[in-house]
Amino acid sequence: MHERVGGVTLFLVLCAWGMVAQSAEVKGSTGGVALAAAEEALGGKRYDQAVKAFSQVLQLRDVEQAVRLGALEGRCMALFKQSLVEKRLDLARQAVADCSEYIRLDPKSARVWRLRGMARLLAGNPDKALINFDHALQLDPKDAVSLRNRGLLYLGLGRDAEAEADFKAALSLDPDQAWNHFNQGLLAGRGGRGGEAEAEFGEFVRLRGVKGREFLVLISRYEGEPSFVRGAIESVLRHSPPPEVAVAVESPPEEQHKEAPAPVEVKEYVFKVGSYQDRGNVESTTRALNALGVPIYQEETDVGGRMFYRIWVGPFRDMTAAKVAFDLVAPLPGQHPEPIRLR
């Protein structure tokens, strides 16, 4: 299960950087001027400043409804992005609250329903996130972003057929959106369709350029992805390497008969989240970790006739990836993960 969820949180983070606040434009009023200043801070990625600026707009008296809605959506976006940067679940929950207030005032914005779904997913509520994406698509069936996000959530839940339907629909609506091709490649690779995966990842690189290559390099090192996915990505990287990055290629024929180098010891980093007797605690912790998209495994240990279930996060082949996962897990309520160690 954890392999399936692995790409969801990572894509959610990247997708968030591509989102732009689309609040209503209100010009001429004091509230409109203040709202524009807040949106400028958000566009400049000064999220803490943006949250404060949107809050000041919401404190104004007799503010127009359009301005209030714009400030609520903007603050929700700023909180959401800040929660990604600082890895704080409390900020994600505040983002959900702002979106909920917006929806109370105006329940017909597909964009805000989608944003609340992303915030709910980040806050560890995939079931509620799915409800929000569903509603966003009821309001706007041609919302390609909601289709992509719901497809990734389906993929994380093991509902591959529904994920494929959403990815194909998103691709038909927006064939020049690189992430639509990446998602198709991810699904094809996981299904063992290597040639199709290579074609989609190649299109992703064509559309994204150097940034696309850099992202594929990152994914190729992520052990949560099946070998078919990594193999397709590595093939694309061999055939279209960026000039400034050296990538592994097959040895020339004259070098293939040389003595093979000594095997390199592979290090695997893990950390323990907890040890539980109660199966309910095991299941709730597992759900929370799956929602974050980190790879996990369990060990059963008999201690004096009592069975304990230990939940570990990992393994990771480099410390950097392990630290990223640790920083995601640490803020979860009630979780106190142990330090990272070699397995």
Task: Give the pLDDT confidence of 95-106 residue by residue, as tens digits.
Answer: 999 999 999 999
For the four alpha carbons of 71, 107, 25 and 137, in that order, the dihedral sign comes to positive
Q: Which of 106, 126, 146 is the last residue before a domain boundary?
A: 126
Are 116 and 100 within 8 A, CB to CB? yes
Is the pLDDT reported for residue 74 higher than 90? yes
Residue 237 lies in a domain: no
Q: What percent of the chain has pLDDT over 90?
A: 21
Residue 221 lies in a domain: no
Q: What percent of the chain has pLDDT over 70?
A: 80
Cα distance between residue 153 and residue 157, in whole Å: 6
- Whole-model pTM: value is 0.62
In the numeric block, which tokens belong to residue 279?
A: 């199966």
Is the pLDDT reported for residue 248 higher than 60? no
Average pLDDT of the segment spanning 263-284: 78
Cα distance between residue 299 and residue 139, in whole Å: 45
Cα distance between residue 25 and residue 200, in whole Å: 37
The reported pLDDT for the residue numbered 115 is: 93
Confidence of residue 185 (pLDDT cuts 50, 70, 90): confident
Confidence of residue 246 (pLDDT cuts 50, 70, 90): very low
Cα distance between residue 18 and residue 340, in whole Å: 32
Residue 8 lies in a domain: yes
The total of structural domains in the chain comes to: 2
Residue 106 lies in a domain: yes
Residue 20 lies in a domain: yes
The CATH number of whichever domain residue 7 belongs to comes to 1.25.40
Domain span at 89: 2-126
Q: Which of 126, 154, 176 is the last residue before a domain boundary?
A: 126
Query: Higher-confidence residue: 122 or 113?
Result: 113
DSSP secondary structure string, 159-187?
A: -HHHHHHHHHHHHHH-TT-HHHHHHHHHH
Residue 65 lies in a domain: yes
Are 155 and 186 within 8 A, CB to CB? yes
Residue 91 lies in a domain: yes
Spell out the residues 6+ positions from residue 8 whose beta carbon is closer than 8 angstroms to its own: 121, 152, 153, 155, 156, 293
Cα distance between residue 325 and residue 224, in whole Å: 12
Cα distance between residue 247 and residue 343, in whole Å: 28
| Largest CA-CA distance found in the chain, in angstroms, rounded | 80
Highest mean pLDDT among 89-98, 210-219, 308-317: 89-98
